[in-house]
Structure 1
Amino acid sequence: MTAALEAARRVADAVLYEGYLLYPYRASAAKNRVRWQFGVLVPPAYSSTGEPSATLTECLLEAPGDAALDVRLRFLHVTCRRVERAGSRGHRPVLRLEAGGRTYLTYDQATEREIRFAPRLAELHEAGQTVEVHVAGDRTYEPIIDGGGARVGRVVSVHEPIDAVVRIGAERLPGPYGLVRLRVAVDNASSWDRPDAPREHALRRSLVAAHLLLAVTHAAFVSLLDPPEWAAAAARLCRNEHTWPVLVGEPGRRDAVLSSPIILYDYPSIAPESPGDLFDATEIDELLTLRALTLTEEEAREARATDPRAAEILDRAAELPPEVLERLHGAIRGLGDVGPPSVPWWDPGADGTVSPDTDSVLVAGRKVARGSRVRLHPGHRRADAHDMFLAGRTALVEGVFLDVDGVRHLAVTLEDDEGADLQRAQGRFLYFAPDEVEPIDEGSRP
């Protein structure tokens, strides 16, 4: 692997495992029953979920002459992991089995796959290159032994075969700058004949968290997010479907691109304070680490049985030195002006049809506007467990806001929050839909 790709691998790995397993890292948790949300390429004949079976990446190269490319297709291959109990009539699938002081759970895992191509740019200009990818299926068995040495069951791990086609081409664009448009299409070509099968079955023949790592020598990529003026028109012509190519590696270098299923900026990086992967690189390591430490013994036991990677998270959280945990609390990346901004982040003059300070909505037949008192009733649409602590609290409406979809939201501060004045000065509010609040009389007590 080139130095450029090696530097980009940590970010690429974070993309590969984003959402692989979320806190509380247990198989029984609702959020871990709907998995594999990013970069899923399903078999083309599977249409139940509307997920794509292909991606297209187009990016720009400054390549006045020939250049060597290093193209890597990376994805997760879902492993069907099934626990079976031994009996007089053979083995029977079960969700859970306790034996020898361990817990065994039926729960799918995943294996990393990486396929590499190293074409010359000159070859791609002439006819392009088509590569057929075949990942063979396999089946393994792990015996489950009880404390007395008897075999009481087994763990069956199955990889179903996956077929894919990668098409790489290049087109030299007219003009004096030596620009080349590089095109890489990835198609899941796996067969599928079960139109009504559950999604979890189709995932076993899908490319999960699929992305591309591209590196080049004797040439340079051009940013599509912030192209130079002379390349802006060519950048707008690049078509990217279900993927997002950005420059990666050391800032300023232009020899590597990550084509990601997650929207990123150029030169993304993992915070240097992060002690290890938590499978949620967009979250806060301190929060997830502290939450891992709050799991009960039974919850931690289930997490360890769910996936070996979950066990690694719990071990790391338990052994994290205080000075490392302290570094997770915050970091100063640079110094700038402090204090409230001279101009509010929202400028009422930008749209004369809306005014958070004077707009109102009707709730239960009563007008609610800035200064109204309401009681909070967080609705079923919310997924954050912390919202339960807001139920029944009284709040003051600070403004009525309109989002880009034309939906109104009430910005509020809690009446019993001693920091409300500071939040008001900074424009940091809690937001609720009109049907999540109840107007209350001015004379009622908080």
Structure 2
Amino acid sequence: MPVSGFPAGIERGFAAARQIADAVLLEGYVLYPYRASAAKNRLRWQFGVLVPPEYTAQGGEHSHQRTECVMEARGEDRLAVELRFLRVQRRTVEQATATGGFEPVERLELTDRVLVDWDEGVEERIELLVPVQELTGQGVQRAFRLPGVGETELLREHGTPVGRLVRRRAQVDGLVRLTVEELPGPYRAQRLTVVVENVSAWMPPRRASREEALPRSLVSAHLLLGLEHGRFVSATDPPEWARPAVERCRSRHTWPVLAGPEGERGVVLSSPIILEDHPAVAPESLGTLYDATEIDEILALRTAALTEEEKREARGTDERAAAVIDLAESMPPEVLERLHGAVRGLREITGGAAEAEQPWWDPGGDPTVDPERDRVLVDGRSVGAGSRVLLRPGRRRTDAQDLFLAGRTGVVEAVLHDVDGSVHLAVTVEDDPGADLWRAQGRFRYFQPDEVTPLDDVTPLDEVTALDDVTPLDGADRAELP
């Protein structure tokens, strides 16, 4: 792996972005229960796989990815490019024989682990630092070759050889092409295009399997892009002056987002997984669990509950899987409690110590509201718990289930205020045979005040005209009832 030769400023930006980049690199690397024998671990490497070009017709996957984004380079600016990917390393297991040799086996049991054949992922980086001025016109292209290698690891127990692991990596050839186009207009901006290609000259046999292509592929390929002095423009929320240029960008098989701390624009992460700008790993997470869309608490609890035999097999599957087992076993209760969840952006609670002990979301925590006693004006009439209303759900914020209730009558059970200041009416539907059960469980239908009409002296709509002839109206379009 190359040692970074980037300027200090760029390297600081990349270092801040690498935590989330590492999560992209290893997304779904090994799935719970972290054993090679698990069915879901037999189809791996789902994101950012760039296969040899001759295999694309057979496998339906791509041999390249293209990133286009808008940037504001300055003067003698330089662009740093870090291409990161996994290289599949095929590991086979051999057992020692009585004659001093080794023979392949499906399973080798050691004291602390059970070893089976497995594909490991070796992280690779290709680094470029290029003056932006050199990228105009024909641009710059850099080829790279990772030669095939093989190595063995001797396994001993009590000083006696019991087997060995044989690891092999196939040759992989790639190409990075960079071009910059000056954009018209009063703002000095450029469109950057970075194309990453797998150019390995592997001729797959007829009906070659994906497993045969993977060792010659770039897996979980993604880019970190950094400017020494300039800034990048967000692809999801650009300023108005840059919006037309951003909309003309065409990325393929990847998605560029601003990376690093909120507010900084010096680094872009171009990921095969769609992310938001400035993505971050939750601070409550103690380590990488590698499972796609992982839920740390559930995975930690399930991992800790594996049998000792299952843990031995997981430890023998991969070093990263072994680290997950160790993490789950060493997690103290107070740390596990942090994984229950977190509420961010809490509003300040004022009042005495006794009031502050109540959670902000508890209705009793705010003495200024009382769902069972509060009332709200609707069409100039006071509506609260016990009021009968005609239901007229609007189309702006409703679903089909609410539309079915258009023209029905209901009873208001409570007036609720949410944290954004909106008012909602909790309603049970009249003539619903399950109304008492819903009420006992505290489960209601919810409507906003402009979606109901008080029924003090109004004839229900279904007594005036057939329901099939009724068109639900928004509050702004409400017509006077006959």
Decide: shared fold, TM above 0.5.
yes
Equivalent residue, structure 1, for 2:410? none
- Partner Cα distance (1:136, 1:236) in 2: 40
Matches within 5 A, 1:334-345: 334-335=345-346
RMSD: 2.9
Question: In structure 1, the residue corresponding to 2:81 is in which secondary structure?
Answer: strand
Matches within 5 A, 1:21-420: 21-47=30-56, 48-87=58-97, 91-99=102-110, 102-147=113-158, 149-194=159-204, 195-280=206-291, 282-335=293-346, 349-350=395-396, 355-357=400-402
- Partner Cα distance (2:362, 2:79) in 1: 49
Please report how far the alpha carbon of residue 146 of structure 1 lies from its aligned counterpart in structure 2 after TM superposition. Answer: 4.7
Seen in structure 2, the aligned counterparts of structure 1 residues 152 and 44 have a Cα distance that, compared at 3 Å, is same
Please report how far the alpha carbon of residue 421 of structure 1 lies from its aligned counterpart in structure 2 after TM superposition. Answer: 4.5
Seen in structure 2, the aligned counterparts of structure 1 residues 26 and 132 have a Cα distance that, compared at 3 Å, is same
Please report how far the alpha carbon of residue 101 of structure 1 lies from its aligned counterpart in structure 2 after TM superposition. Answer: 5.4
Please report how far the alpha carbon of residue 357 of structure 1 lies from its aligned counterpart in structure 2 after TM superposition. Answer: 4.7
Runs of 4+ in 1 over 6 A off after TM superposition: 416-420, 423-426
- Deviations 1:39-59, CA, capped at 9 Å, x for gaps: 000111113320111000001
TM-score computed with the length of structure 1 as normaliser: 0.76
Question: In structure 2, the residue corresponding to 1:55 is in which secondary structure?
Answer: strand
Please report how far the alpha carbon of residue 198 of structure 1 lies from its aligned counterpart in structure 2 after TM superposition. Answer: 1.7
The answer to whether the 8 Å contact 1:64/1:177 transfers is no
The answer to whether the 8 Å contact 1:131/1:167 transfers is yes
The answer to whether the 8 Å contact 1:246/1:265 transfers is yes
- Deviations 1:269-311, CA, capped at 9 Å, x for gaps: 0001111111137322111111111111111111111111111
Structure 2: 5+ residue runs without aligned partners? 1-5, 348-359, 364-375, 377-392, 405-436, 448-482
Question: In structure 2, the residue corresponding to 1:122 is in which secondary structure?
Answer: helix
Seen in structure 2, the aligned counterparts of structure 1 residues 153 and 425 have a Cα distance that, compared at 3 Å, is farther
Please report how far the alpha carbon of residue 355 of structure 1 lies from its aligned counterpart in structure 2 after TM superposition. Answer: 2.4
Structure 1: 5+ residue runs without aligned partners? 360-415, 427-446
Seen in structure 2, the aligned counterparts of structure 1 residues 319 and 425 have a Cα distance that, compared at 3 Å, is farther
- Partner Cα distance (1:419, 1:292) in 2: 39
The answer to whether the 8 Å contact 1:100/1:145 transfers is no
- Partner Cα distance (1:305, 1:208) in 2: 22
- Partner Cα distance (2:294, 2:440) in 1: 24
Please report how far the alpha carbon of residue 91 of structure 1 lies from its aligned counterpart in structure 2 after TM superposition. Answer: 3.7
Percent same amino acid among aligned pairs?
51
Seen in structure 2, the aligned counterparts of structure 1 residues 213 and 418 have a Cα distance that, compared at 3 Å, is farther
Question: In structure 1, the residue corresponding to 2:76 is in which secondary structure?
Answer: coil
- Partner Cα distance (1:303, 1:102) in 2: 8
- Partner Cα distance (1:200, 1:420) in 2: 53
Seen in structure 2, the aligned counterparts of structure 1 residues 133 and 418 have a Cα distance that, compared at 3 Å, is farther
Please report how far the alpha carbon of residue 150 of structure 1 lies from its aligned counterpart in structure 2 after TM superposition. Answer: 4.1
Q: Report the count of equivalent residues.
A: 366
Equivalent residue, structure 2, for 1:18? 27
Q: Which residue identity is paired with 1:190?
A: S
Q: Which residue identity is paired with 2:400?
A: S
- Partner Cα distance (2:217, 2:20) in 1: 22
Equivalent residue, structure 1, for 2:412? none
- Partner Cα distance (2:189, 2:305) in 1: 54
- Partner Cα distance (1:192, 1:62) in 2: 39
The answer to whether the 8 Å contact 2:113/2:313 transfers is no
- Partner Cα distance (1:316, 1:423) in 2: 43
The answer to whether the 8 Å contact 1:99/1:145 transfers is no
Seen in structure 2, the aligned counterparts of structure 1 residues 418 and 294 have a Cα distance that, compared at 3 Å, is farther
Please report how far the alpha carbon of residue 105 of structure 1 lies from its aligned counterpart in structure 2 after TM superposition. Answer: 1.3
- Partner Cα distance (2:243, 2:39) in 1: 45
Question: In structure 1, the residue corresponding to 2:340 is in which secondary structure?
Answer: coil
- Partner Cα distance (1:183, 1:158) in 2: 34
The answer to whether the 8 Å contact 1:348/1:355 transfers is no
Q: Which residue identity is paired with 2:126?
A: I
Q: Which residue identity is paired with 1:198?
A: S
- Deviations 1:98-129, CA, capped at 9 Å, x for gaps: 24554221111110000100000001114311
- Deviations 1:163-189, CA, capped at 9 Å, x for gaps: 001001101011110110011000001
Q: Which residue identity is paired with 1:212?
A: L
The answer to whether the 8 Å contact 2:92/2:167 transfers is yes
Larger radius of gyration: 2
Please report how far the alpha carbon of residue 215 of structure 1 lies from its aligned counterpart in structure 2 after TM superposition. Answer: 0.6
Q: Which residue identity is paired with 2:168?
A: V
The answer to whether the 8 Å contact 2:31/2:41 transfers is yes
Seen in structure 2, the aligned counterparts of structure 1 residues 301 and 228 have a Cα distance that, compared at 3 Å, is same
The answer to whether the 8 Å contact 1:286/1:328 transfers is yes
